[in-house]
Amino acid sequence: MAEERVTNFIRRLRFENGEMTQQALADRVGVTRQTIIAVEAGKYMPSLPLAFKLARSFGMGVEEVFQLEGPPGQTPESKEE
């Protein structure tokens, strides 16, 4: 069974927000640039407060920035059906 994975659109959002640098985003949310690098690459899953801060820094909700990817039949939508 494939593992569930959290993906994010931070890289794209940075680009769409005036080519914001990783350092600028890190300064906004109060973390180091290395953490932004790790989150973007999917190597580190941020805590909930950090996820909220990241989403808010782009003026969006958490679910618009982060998404849970899993095997078919495991998503909440498919369970409802």
Interface with another protein by CB under 8 A: which residues? 7, 9, 11-12, 14-15, 19, 21-24, 26-27, 30-35, 37-38, 40-41, 43-44, 46-47, 50
Distances (CA, A) of 66 to 2, 30, 35, 51, 62: 19, 19, 16, 8, 6
The count of C-alpha atoms lying within 13 angstroms of the C-alpha of 10, restricted to the half-sphere facing its C-beta, is 29
Closer residue to another protein in complex, CB, 43/79 = 43
Closer residue to another protein in complex, CB, 47/77 = 47
Closer residue to another protein in complex, CB, 18/59 = 18
